[in-house]
Structure formats: structure tokens, C-alpha cells
Amino acid sequence: MTFLSPLRLLLLLVLFILAVAYLWMRQRRQESAVRFASTEMLANVVPPAPWHKKHLPATLVMLALTLGMFGFARPATTIKVPTEKATLIMAIDVSLSMQADDVNPTRFDAAKEAAKVFAESLPDTIDLGLVSFAGTAALEVTPTDDHSDVIAAIDQLQLAEATAVGDAILLGIRAAQSNGFADTDEDVPASIVILSDGETTVGTLESAAIDQAIEADIAVSTISFGTEDGSILMTDPNFPQLGEVLTPVPVAEDNLQTIAEETGGTFFRAESASELDEIYTNVGLAVGFEDEEQEVGDWFALATVCLMACASGLSLLWSQKLI
């Protein structure tokens, strides 16, 4: 919690002075009573009141005033509110390693299904674009609020050789930047989500793509999809005479985590289709909402009124005085 007018908290010094004055006056009153009557006689004539009857109403008043001062300083908390407009580029790895079946039914099929569910769940305020990448990156769908176009394009994705993560980031940046408001100078918040199981083998270096994303102020979140046990049948180009052999394709994570951390995105790890669904839900929350400070002084005002009412009620009950 923060305070939008923190200097007003200096008024708490007044409450401190009042508390000291209250204690001093209580002490003076006791000394005055003792001066005119012996302690033994005073105890017989006026039985001492329990502590809570003497001090609880005043304590509640001081607490109420303290909360009132906090409210006067305009307390605020950070909440998530829907963004009015945002652009999200979803980049899906279509390299051959995505046909590994360590994720049921395959990494590729599970990724497509989760991506389609994700596209369906996004609000219309999010313009969604689709990039596929293997040896090169291709813009399958320019950012649009008609997410059915993206869903249809996901169904048409085909696997190919190699992995160009860097090229996918650069293409995503260009696609996001081209999606500004046509009739205004207002920038549209943009982000990129990369789903991949490997690291760059061809094309633009990931470090160069990271620099471009930082310069464009576009966060790149990454999802590492698959397990260490993934494998596929493929022909080794150096030994084609051997035909297709079982080739390990363990998931890569370090490079994807670096991309996310350095661009201000978030790194996710998914080893199953269900985890991927959950991750996409979190990604949707991140791109569909933004942090905003909201004043909560009303709650402090309500607490102040309630405490003052309690203090007044107890004072009337125990001493027939309002306070």
C-alpha cells in the first residue's frame, strides 16, 4: 500500500500529543483525588473502575483518529484493470522436434490445441497476431481482434526443419509496431509470447533479437514446452544410409529464460498439455490487464466511523457520557 499524499501523515504527531495529554490528565486527576482523601477511604467510597471501562473508549477514539489520518493521506493499492487496447503476438515453434510424443499426443498437437483455447479466451480488446517459425519465421496472421482468423491459421501449421527463435522475435516486433492506432499518435501496449522446445539453430542471434525487443520496449514472454526425454525419428543428413533413427530432442530452457528475463517478460515451463493450458491462462491475464493504483480511503473512513460509534456506545453504557 502507498499513500498519494504522504506528507499528511505528519498530522499523526497531533494524535501523539493528544495521547500524551490524555495520560497526563488521567495522572493529574488521580493525584488530585488522593490529595483530598486517603487512599483507603477513596477506595471504599469510590470503588476503582476496571481498566477497560476507564480506557477502552479513549483507546478506540485514538485508533479511529489514527485510521482517519491514514485515510486523509489518500492510501492507494495496486489492482489489475483491463487494458483498453493491447497487441499480442503469439509465436509457435514448428520445428521437427515438436513432433516428439513426450507430451500427449505430441508437443505440436498439444501446443496447437492450447493456443486455440487461449485465442478463444482473449477479450476483443486484445489484437492477436500469429507467427510460426522453424528455419525461417512467417507472419501467419497480422494482429486482429477477430481471433477466429488466428484459430483457423493454427490448424494449418506444418512442421519444418531448424529453429529460428531470433527471427521470430524480430518479426513479432515488426508486427506489433505496425498495429498502432491509425488515426492517433497513441502507442498500443504490445508483448510477444514465444512457445518453443529448442534454441536458435539458424537465423538472427537471440542476443540481437533481445536488444531489438528492449529498444522497442516490447516484453517477450517465453514458454519452454516438453521434457528432457523427448525423441523423434529422423534421418541424419551425415549418414542418410542409416535411414530414420531415434534421436533425442530434450527441451531447451536456458535460452528461453534469458530472453524473458532480459526483455521484461515472464518465463514459463510446461511439461504437459494441462500445464500449457494453465500457463496460457496466466499469459492472458498478464496481457489483458495492467496495474493501476486505486485509492482505498473509503475503507479507512468506514473503519473510522465504526470505531467512533463503538467508543461512543461503550462510553454511554459505562459512564453515561457520549465520549
Q: Are 80 and 285 in contact (CB under 8 A)?
A: yes
Taking the C-alpha atoms of residue 139 and residue 147, their distance in angstroms, rounded to an integer, is 15
Ordered structural domains, the chain, with CATH: 2-78+294-319 (no CATH), 83-271 (3.40.50.410)
Tell me, what's the pLDDT at 203? 95
**Comparing 14-23, 147-156, 214-223, which segment has the lowest mean pLDDT?**
14-23
Hey, what's the cell of 167?
A: 527471427
Q: Between residues 299 and 186, which one has the greater pLDDT?
A: 299
Q: Which residue has the cell 499518435?
A: 185
Distance from the Cα of residue 111 to its chain's centroid: 24
Ranking 18-22, 60-64, 73-77 by mean pLDDT, the lowest is 18-22
In sequence order, which residues have a C-beta less than 8 Å from that of residue 6 and are 6 or more positions away?
73
Q: Do you know the residue count of the chain? A: 323
Q: C-alpha cell of 15?
A: 494524535
In 3-state terms, what secondary structure has residue 20? helix
Question: What is the DSSP secondary structure assignment for residue 203, as one 8-state letter?
Answer: S
Long-range contacts of 174-177 (CB under 8 A, 24+ apart): 175/89, 175/129, 175/131, 175/139, 175/142, 175/143, 176/87, 176/89, 176/129, 176/143, 176/216, 176/218, 177/216
Mean predicted confidence (pLDDT) in 236-258: 82
Peptide bond into 105 cis (omega under 30): yes
Half-sphere exposure for 323 (CA within 13 Å, toward CB): 9
> Which of 139-153, 239-253, 255-269 is predicted least confidently?
239-253
Strand partners, 147: none
> What are 124-171's pLDDT values in tens digits?
888 999 999 999 999 999 999 999 999 999 999 999 999 999 999 999
Distance in angstroms (rounded) separating the CA atoms of residues 321 and 316: 5
Tens of pLDDT, residue by residue over 21-55, are 877 877 776 666 555 555 555 455 555 556 666 66
Helix, strand, or coil (residue 132) = strand
Beta strands in 42-98 (DSSP E): 75-82, 86-93
Report which of 63, 83, 38 is spatially closest to residue 303, judged by C-alpha positions.
Answer: 63
CB 100 within 8 A of CB 197: yes
Kindly indicate the confidence band of residue 181, based on its pLDDT and cuts at 50, 70 and 90. Answer: very low
